[in-house]
Amino acid sequence: MDDNQNHKIYQELKRIDKNYAFQEFLGLIGFEKGFLFTCKSLLIKPGKTIREYVNINRQKVTKPVTFLGLTSVIYTLFAHYFKIENPYSEMSKKMYGNSSINNIMNWIQENYGYANLLMILPITFCTLLFFKKYKYNFYEIFVVICFVMGMGMLIFSLEPILNKLSKNTFLLNESLIVIIAFLYTGWAIGQFYGNKVKNYIKGFLAYFLGFLIFEVVMIGLAIIYDLIKG
């Protein structure tokens, strides 16, 4: 191969510079593979979008684990940037005193993006239990929950903004966002299994029970820690 051929090959390749590095970063996080498209699709038609990913085409939308990780980061950044004094910590202290339960409840509240990642397993197991007749395996349901909880994180990302705009309605803002997130999650899970009212109810119950199991386990660990500590 002569010098002219080498030069031609070099010209066809993109130069490694800041633009190249930025494009590689977007590719790494899945942004160029349809992050915004994924958000829109999961918001409008979550059941169809996830069914297509599981059964037909896995190229159109962002990978489920990447999607959940990215939305959790977005939530964490929003919570940090729009952070205000949280009255929940005072309420928790009145309820649990200086126990480890108080510490762990505050950690969940202040680090919901990370806590959300820990909730996946119990919610996946509960969904598997509630919809076992559909014959989807654990890993396929795990994909469903990653997508659904990812959108849930984007919904929860609205809470810090509302709190920043209206500090006096913190508890109202939190309650409103929690209701919307839980309703969306039940609707999305139910839609994946078919547009039936009973599936929406079962989807909501599966998510709620998984969330409840997570909190019970965390409280149990805190109690055990306090007993061991003395």
Q: pLDDT tens, position by position, for the chain (230 residues)?
A: 555 555 554 456 667 777 777 777 766 555 555 788 899 899 999 999 999 999 988 888 889 998 998 898 888 888 888 776 666 666 666 777 777 888 887 777 777 777 878 889 999 999 999 999 998 999 999 999 999 999 999 999 998 888 888 777 777 888 899 899 999 999 999 999 988 899 999 999 999 999 999 989 988 888 888 888 76
Which positions ≥6 away from 222 have C-beta within 8 Å?
99, 100, 101, 103, 104
Q: How far apart are CA 64 and CA 44, in angstroms?
A: 17
- Amino acid letter at 47? G
CA distance 199 to 108: 29
Q: Give yes or no for a contact between 48 and 40, defined as CB atoms under 8 angstroms apart.
A: no
User: Nearest Cα to 215, choosing from 116, 80, 145?
Assistant: 116
